[in-house]
Amino acid sequence: MSGKCISFAAGPQRSKADGTQVKFPISSLGDQKQWSARLEEQDPYFWTISVNTPANAPIGQYDLFLHASKACRLLGKFILLFNPWCRDDEVFLPNEAQRQEYILNQDGVIYSGTENEILAQPWDFRQFDVGIVDICFKLLDIGERYQRDQDHTQRKNPIYICRTVAAMMNCNLARILSESGTRECYDGTPPSKWLGSNAILQQWAALQCRPVRYGQCWVFAAVMCSVLRCLGIPTRVVTGFTWAHNTNSNPNVNEYYEEDGTLLTPDKSARVWTFHVWNECWMARTDLLPEYSGWQALDATCQKKSKGPSFCGPAPVQAIKEGDVEVDYDVCYFFAAMNAKCKVWIHMADDIFKPASICTKYMGNNISTKSVGSERCEDITHNYKYPEGSLQEKKVLDKVYRKTQTLQAISSRREITSIPTTLEEKVKLFIDFQSKSSLILGQDIPLSIEVFNYSDREKATDLVLGVQSLHYNGVPIMQLWKEKLNFIIKSNEVRTLQVFVPYSQYGKELGKNRLLRLTATLRDEDSYIYFAQEEISICDPPLTIEFPDNVLLYQPATVKISLLNPLTEPLEKCVIVVGGQGLIYRQRKYRLGTVQPKSTQDLNISFTPTESGPRRLTAHLTCLQIQNLKSYKTINVAAA
Catalytic residue among 171, 217, 281, 332: 217
In the annotation, is 217 catalytic? yes
Handedness of CA 100, 102, 103, 105 (dihedral sign): positive
| Residue 574 near residue 595, CB atoms below 8 Å | yes
Which of 152, 245, 276, 471 is flagged as catalytic?
Answer: 276
What does the alpha-carbon distance between residue 134 and residue 79 come to, in Å, rounded to a whole number? Answer: 9
Number of Cβ atoms within 10 Å of the Cβ of 443: 17
Catalytic option among 89, 124, 299, 324:
299
- C-alpha–C-alpha distance, residues 520 and 416, integer Å: 31
Active site residue 276: yes
Active site residue 462: no
Strands 177-179 and 212-215, bridge-based pairing: parallel
Cβ atoms of 240 and 334 within 8 Å: the answer is: no
Could you give phi then psi for residue 435, rounded to 5 degrees? -120, 160
Three-class SS of residue 133? helix
- The CA-to-CA distance between both ends of the chain, in Å, stands at 48
Q: For residue 146, what is the enclosing H or E element?
A: helix 132-146
Beta carbons within 10 angstroms of residue 185's beta carbon: 16
Query: Do the Cβ atoms of 463 and 485 come closer than 8 Å?
Result: yes
Task: Determine contact, residues 240/276, Cβ cutoff 8 Å.
Answer: yes
Q: Residue 255: helix, strand or coil by DSSP?
A: strand
Q: How far apart are CA 268 and CA 247, in angstroms?
A: 10
On whether the CB atoms of residues 127 and 230 are closer than 8 A, the answer is yes
Whether residue 310 contacts residue 302, with contact meaning beta carbons closer than 8 Å, is answered with yes
Taking CA atoms, 500 is separated from 121, 435, 449, 552, in Å, by 29, 11, 11, 50
Strand partners, 521: 464, 531
Helix, strand, coil % over all residues of the chain, rounded to 5: 20, 40, 40
**Residues 6+ away with beta carbon under 8 Å from 391:** none
Question: Rounded CA gap, 102 and 551, in Å?
Answer: 27
Q: Which residues are catalytic, by number?
A: 217, 276, 299
